[in-house]
Amino acid sequence: MTTSPQQQSPLLDASGVAKNYGAVAALRNASLSVLPGEVHALMGANGAGKSTLVKILTGAISANAGRILIRGEARDIRSPAAARRAGLLPVYQEPSLIPDLDVLSNLRLTGTPVEPFRAWVRELGISDLDLRDTARDIPLAILRVLDLARALAVEPDVLLLDEMTAALPANLAEKVLEVVRRQGDAGRAVIFISHRFVEISALCDRATVLRDGATVGVVDIVPGVEEKIVELMLGTRIEKTKVAARAGQGAASAPALPRIAVRNLRVGTKLNDVSFDLRDGEVAGVVALEGQGQDELFAALAGSIRPSGGAIEVDGKPAKFAHPIDAIRAGIAYVPGDRSEALAMQRSVRENIALPFSAALRNWGPIAMGRERATVASAIQRLQIDTRAQGEVQRLSGGNQQKVTIARWIAADARTILCFDPTRGIDVGTKQEIYKLLRELAGNGKSVLFYTSELEEVQRVCDRVIVIFGGRLVDIFSVEEADEPALMRAAYGLPRGAKADVGILADPSANPSDAPAPEARP
């Protein structure tokens, strides 16, 4: 791998770091070496182990194996306080000021010197901060900047920034990047975690790339390195798989009206101007890195949150969802990614599957037990749920729990199912069953919106795939085009310029404006 010549000894040198959660290896063999004076990007696809590595470096969790050297000395970082003493300071995505205290008390609490803090706050472009303000009353974007200022004020050797510019308005983001860049000049180092290539190429000197819990490369940031990084993140999965368009459904028999038409949908600052159609008889995939607005998209379609702008049309009629019941009445069911969000864990499989039947006021009376048993049994049969422990859902395996969350809506015969990462953390066999089920649903004329964090699932299941980056819909692929490299590039906001295989040899002069406009725009 390319590395700069090692004239200096690294400030931070972690190697062979591993972490297991039970049988699952979150990190297998990660290493990270940061030199004095550099801004170092840490990159990796969803689930590659970035956040686990960060948590280990900052003492939030402890590693099962590995060695961490700070300024050449082996250190055992057992707590956030120990990391701080060792000169390692993180700024996380969530603001860390205590909401009920004013800024000054928050500073005292962490032993942060006040004057340097003030200076950094001014430096970062906030001129009118009153230290007596209660943290709760300060806007989120400012809080994140205050977190950064608080970290800078103690002059850490290594500053760890997790998606620092997310949720910042452009002017603040610019100041932040400027200050971060200057950290390097003072001989300190910054570890910069970001999904944005634009920022990384403007700011960073080198990047460490993680894949499947291991460091797969360290690269210098030079023009055109994006391709190389995408290649590293994909690893051996680079070969193109050709998938024929699915016969029968979709485009061939495209009906006049889409089942759901999303128009310029906006949710707070998280989702911006998203438009696409979902048709009967198709599985539309959604691909996005973590936290790009896909959660808000699904929640808005499910009626869990109200969009702040734009429109959702169901069967050609505008729909306003104030509560999930409104979406359910329109035949739209939501299967959340977190099973514990969807299941009453202490209740039986049967009660969980039948839960939507009792929801409406008119169904509060006596339950037709025979009919319910039959409906539930057929849903259980269809999904092949293992019902040996059906007395309490919490005793089922994860895969079977996931099946219950889907079976509920099969039993309720929902016309549209919004599946949010339904295969996360379940075994391979169950995954296959879920793919098959989603295809069957589409075959029966239902429509499915399917978010997945595993890119390889797209070509197995979807007819089309929508890619979201930074709250915007950046591309729509047909299934034939949606191979992993193409999706990965799009998910990182890279234009669909290079038509050839991704690689170092890809044409760097590819024109970004080649990227076709999302085809579903009206």
Partner 1 sequence: MSTSAITPAPIPLGRRVKRFMADRPLIPLIILLVILVVILQILRPGIVNERWIANTIKFAIPLAILAGCQTMTMLTGGIDLSVGTVATMSAFIMATQIVNQDPAVAFLLAMMPAVLIGLVNGIGVGVFRVHPLIMTLGTSLIGTGCLQVYQRTVIASGAKIPDFLAWLGTGVTPILGFAFPNALLLFVPLAALIVFTLARTGFGRLLYAVGDNERATRLSGVQYWQVITALYVTSSLLAGITGLLYIGLIKAPSLSLAEPLVLPSVAAAVIGGTSIFGGRGGYTGTIIGALILTVLTTLLTILQMPEGARRILFGLIVLFVTAAYLRIVEER
Binding site for partner 1 (CB under 8 A): 302, 304, 323-325, 328-329, 334, 336, 340-347, 351, 354-361, 363-367, 369, 408
Give the residue with the Cβ less far from partner 1, 363 or 432. Answer: 363
Based on CB atoms, which residue is closest to partner 1, 369 or 428? 369
DSSP string, 174-228: HHHHHHHHHHHHTT-EEEEE-S-HHHHHHH-SEEEEEETTEEEEEEE--TTHHHH
Angstrom distance (rounded) from CA 522 to CA 518: 10
Q: Choose among 375, 291, 378: nearest CA to 337.
A: 291
Closest contact distance (angstroms) between CB of 284 and partner 1 is 21
The CA distance from 83 to 3, in Å, is 26
Is 365 or 522 the residue whose CB approaches partner 1 more closely? 365
Residue whose CB is less far from partner 1, 345 or 374: 345
Work out how close the CB of 438 gets to partner 1 at its nearest, in angstroms, rounded to a whole number. Answer: 19
Cα-based torsion angle of the residue sequence 374, 377, 379, 382 in order, rounded to the nearest 10 degrees: -120
Q: Output the CA–CA distances (angstroms, integers) from residue 371 to 66, 285, 383, in the order listed.
A: 58, 35, 19
Q: Please name which of 230, 226, 218, 221 lies closest in space to residue 33, comparing C-alpha atoms.
A: 218
CB of 402 to partner 1, least distance (A): 14
Q: How many CB atoms lie within 10 A of CB 444?
A: 11
CB of 259 to partner 1, least distance (A): 19
Nearer to partner 1, 342 or 385 (CB): 342
Strands 206-211 and 39-44: parallel
Q: What is the DSSP string of 285-308?
A: EEEE-TTSSHHHHHHHHHTSS--S
Choice between 30 and 376, CB closer to partner 1: 376
How many Å apart are CA 364 and CA 384, to the nearest integer? 29
Question: In the bound complex, what is the minimum distance in angstroms from residue 374's beta carbon to partner 1?
Answer: 16
What φ, ψ does residue 448 adopt, rounded to 5°? -130, 130
Shortest distance in whole angstroms from residue 99 CB to partner 1: 19
- Is the CB of residue 258 less than 8 Å from the CB of residue 278? yes
From the CB of 332, what's the least distance to partner 1, in Å? Answer: 11
CB of 138 or CB of 299, closer to partner 1: 299
Residues 426/402, Cβ–Cβ less than 8 Å:
yes
CB of 337 to partner 1, least distance (A): 12
The residue among 166 and 342 lying less far from partner 1, judged by its C-beta, is 342
- Nearest distance, CB of residue 465 and partner 1, angstroms: 25
Q: Which is nearer to partner 1, 324 or 518 (CB)?
A: 324
Amino acid at 426: I
d(CA 410, CA 270): 31
End-to-end CA distance of the chain: 46
C-beta atoms surrounding 93 within 10 Å: 16
Nearer to partner 1, 124 or 343 (CB): 343
Other CB atoms within 10 A of residue 222 CB: 9
Considering the complex, state which of residue 173 and residue 302 has its C-beta at the smaller distance from partner 1: 302
Instruction: Please state the closest distance from residue 358 (CB atom) to partner 1, in A.
Output: 3
Q: For residues 328 and 468, which CB has a smaller minimum distance to partner 1 in the complex?
A: 328
Per-residue CA distances from 262 to 4, 159, 195, 313, 333 (Å) = 48, 41, 26, 6, 16
**In the complex, minimum distance from the CB of residue 357 to partner 1, in angstroms, rounded to a whole number:** 7
In the complex, least distance from residue 408 CB atom to partner 1, rounded to whole angstroms: 7
Report helix, strand or coil for 500. coil
Phi, psi of 131 (to 5 degrees): -65, -15
Nearer to partner 1, 62 or 358 (CB): 358
Report CA-CA distances (Å) from 110 to 99, 149, 160, 473: 14, 13, 17, 41
Q: Report the SS3 class of residue 341.
A: helix
CA triple 76-79-82, angle to 5 deg? 65
CB of 370 to partner 1, least distance (A): 12
